[in-house]
Amino acid sequence: MLLNLLGCREIINDLQGYYLSALSHIIIINISLYLNRMKKIVFIVGGAGYIGSHMAKHAALAGYDVVVLDNLSTGHKDAVKYGKFELCDIKDKTKLDALFKKYQPDAVMHFSAYSIVSESVVDPYKYYDNNVSGTLNLLKTMLDNHCNNVIFSSTAAVFGNPEYVPIDEEHIKKPINPYGRSKLMVEQILEDFSQAYNLKYLVFRYFNAAGHDVDGELSERHDPETHLLPLIMQAARGDRKNIAIFGTDYDTKDGTCIRDYIHVDDLCAAHLNGLNVFFNVGKEVHSNDFNLGNGSGFSVKEVISKVKELTNKDFTVVERERRSGDPAVLIASNIKASKILNFTPNKSKIEDIIKSLI
Ligand SMILES: NC(=O)c1ccc[n+]([C@@H]2O[C@H](COP(=O)([O-])OP(=O)(O)OC[C@H]3O[C@@H](n4cnc5c(N)ncnc54)[C@H](O)[C@@H]3O)[C@@H](O)[C@H]2O)c1
């Protein structure tokens, strides 16, 4: 009888052990499912391009699950070094919808656009079709799939010719080309969608994004290249005959245009702060717009002479007539971004930006 009882106790102990270990397994599985779900999934649309590929790296290193969507129209597959890659055009609603269902992203960073001002003047359809219709498609797919957080890459071009500098967010928005207008239209769509459908958005207006990833893994590869710093670097490497300055009679210290250059890593850091805004409950600052720049400017001549000094290379500089639509000075006020997003450019010296390109 006693033996029987002892036997029963052993069986009970065995059963308890079995159930405890099964229970602990279930708890562990649930915790890991929970932690996996805590790892937010971010779609980086246009993530094979210059800024997007840097963003994918920053987001992945910050612990986000990154999925890059790109149609490779101006981007490069080999620039996608972080996260998964999905070949997708934002105008393809069926494909987009399938990807939103597959991954169920928590937020979208929307870098995909055409962005060559002169091309937008001769082919505005291309710009409105991709930048506006494509974005409408993307936003509708987001809403259909209950993804309500989007960071949109806008531009200083929405302001047109500045009435004052530094340009703050309140500055009148009067774009002077179809590219700038396409971006302003999306800004307005975002505002309307936020009112009507509770979409949370952050508009980030970049001034001149510049510089490369410090580890040398990623770079800027626009074709054709239209940005000043990569063009000067091509001249320094001997890959182009000369560098042209368009206009030397502007009302600036040395007669050449002044621009605000912001390191791509600083831009990416601002985007990570933006994601925090979405994911930290209580911080009700979403659905807002921010100018992202250094807050200071450098003239074309200053940038050229700094590149010559830092690379120790001389190259030919030719002076040309002004181009139409080039404002003398474009400098961002980053006060709002600094107050609300804790945005501080860490690589604000032009030397830092140039050194990352060498
Ligand atoms: N580079 C700058 O200085 C600067 C300044 C202001 C604003 N911006 C904005 O920042 C964003 C990124 O600029 P970037 O310099 O990295 O440009 P980029 O051309 O290098 O990257 C854009 C990416 O979007 C992709 N893309 C374009 N249309 C697409 C579509 N329909 N579907 C899917 N993918 C598509 C391209 O293939 C490319 O990989 C753009 O929206 C641009 O307007 C850039």
Mutate to test the pocket of ligand 1, among 44, 53, 73 (most ligand atoms within 8 A of CB): 73
DSSP 100-116: HHHH--SEEEE------
Pocket test for ligand 1, best of 50, 77, 85, 127 (most atoms within 8 A of CB): 50
| Residue 48 beta carbon below 6 angstroms from any ligand 1 atom | yes
Q: Does 33 share its domain with 102?
A: no
Reported confidence tier of residue 218, pLDDT bands at 50, 70, 90: very high
Which of 86, 153, 357 has the most ligand 1 atoms within 8 A of CB, as the residue to mutate? 153
Average pLDDT of the segment spanning 154-164: 96
- Active-site residue, selected from the candidate residues 127, 179, 201, 261: 179
Please give the residue range of the domain that contains residue 259: 39-355
Residue 166: is the preceding peptide bond cis (ω within 30°)? yes
3-class state of residue 95 by DSSP? helix
Is residue 67 within 8 A of residue 43, CB to CB? The reply is yes
What is the reported pLDDT for 141?
98
151 CA distance to ligand 1 centroid (A)? 13
Is the per-residue pLDDT at 271 higher than 90? yes
Per-residue pLDDT band at 133 (split at 50, 70, 90): very high
CA dist 218 → 109, 119, 244, 306 (Å): 18, 26, 26, 23
Centre of ligand 1 from the C-alpha of residue 206, in Å: 12
Is 179 annotated as catalytic?
Answer: yes
Q: Is 134 in the pocket of ligand 1 (CB under 6 A)?
A: yes
DSSP assignment of 14-29 equals HHHHHHHHHHHHHHHH
Residue 205 predicted with pLDDT over 90: yes
Per-residue confidence at 280, pLDDT binned at 50, 70, 90? confident
Q: Is 316 helix (H, G, I), strand (E, B) or coil?
A: strand
- CA-to-CA distance for 184 and 132, rounded, in angstroms? 9
What integer pLDDT is reported at residue 188 of this predicted model? 98
Asked whether 130 lines ligand 1 (CB < 6 A), one says: yes
Average pLDDT, the chain: 91
Atom from ligand 1 closest to the CA of residue 110: 41
The dihedral formed by the CA atoms of 288, 292, 297 and 302, expressed in degrees to the nearest 10:
-160
Q: How far apart are CA 166 and CA 164, in angstroms?
A: 6
Do 16 and 86 sit in the same domain of this protein?
A: no
pLDDT in tens, 110-132: 999 999 999 999 999 999 999 99
Give yes or no: residues 13 and 139 share one domain. no
Note whether 91 and 143 are same-domain residues. yes
* pLDDT score for 174: 97
User: For 246, left (φ over 0), alpha (ψ -120 to 50), or beta?
Assistant: beta
Do both 4 and 152 map to the same domain? no
Query: Which range among 11-20, 117-126, 155-164 shows the weakest confidence by mean pLDDT?
Result: 11-20
Angle at 348 between CA 344 and CA 351, to 5 degrees: 160
Tell whether 33 and 112 lie within a shared domain: no
Average pLDDT of the segment spanning 251-279: 95
From the CA of 73, how far away is ligand 1's center (Å)? 10
- Reported as a pLDDT band with limits 50, 70 and 90, residue 12 is low
| Confidence tier at 282 by pLDDT (50, 70, 90) | low
Q: Which residues contact 18 (CB under 8 A, 6 or more apart)?
A: none
Q: What are phi and psi of 30, to 5 degrees?
A: -65, -40
pLDDT score for 310 = 95
- Do 133 and 257 share a structural domain? yes
176 contacts: CB under 8 Å, gap ≥ 6: 157, 160, 161, 325
Provide the domain count of the chain. 2
**What's the CATH code of the domain at 145?**
3.40.50.720
Instruction: Using pLDDT thresholds of 50, 70 and 90, give the confidence band for residue 2.
Output: very low
Q: Are residues 79 and 25 in the same domain?
A: no
pLDDT at 37 over 80: no
pTM: 0.90
Asked whether the bond before 178 is cis by omega within 30 degrees of 0, the reply is no
- Our answer on whether the CB atom of 50 is closer than 6 Å to any ligand 1 atom is yes
* pLDDT value of position 344: 94
Residue 53 in contact with ligand 1 by CB distance below 6 A: no
Section 248-276 average pLDDT: 96
Q: Are residues 124 and 3 in the same domain?
A: no
| 155 C-beta closer than 6 A to ligand 1 | yes
Mean pLDDT of 317-332: 92
Query: Residue 316 pLDDT more than 60?
Result: yes
Do 150 and 226 sit in the same domain of this protein? yes
* Pair (176, 135) in one structural domain: yes
Same domain for 94 and 177, yes or no, is yes
Q: Is the CB of residue 73 below 6 angstroms from any atom belonging to ligand 1?
A: yes
**Band of residue 323 on the pLDDT scale cut at 50, 70, 90:** confident
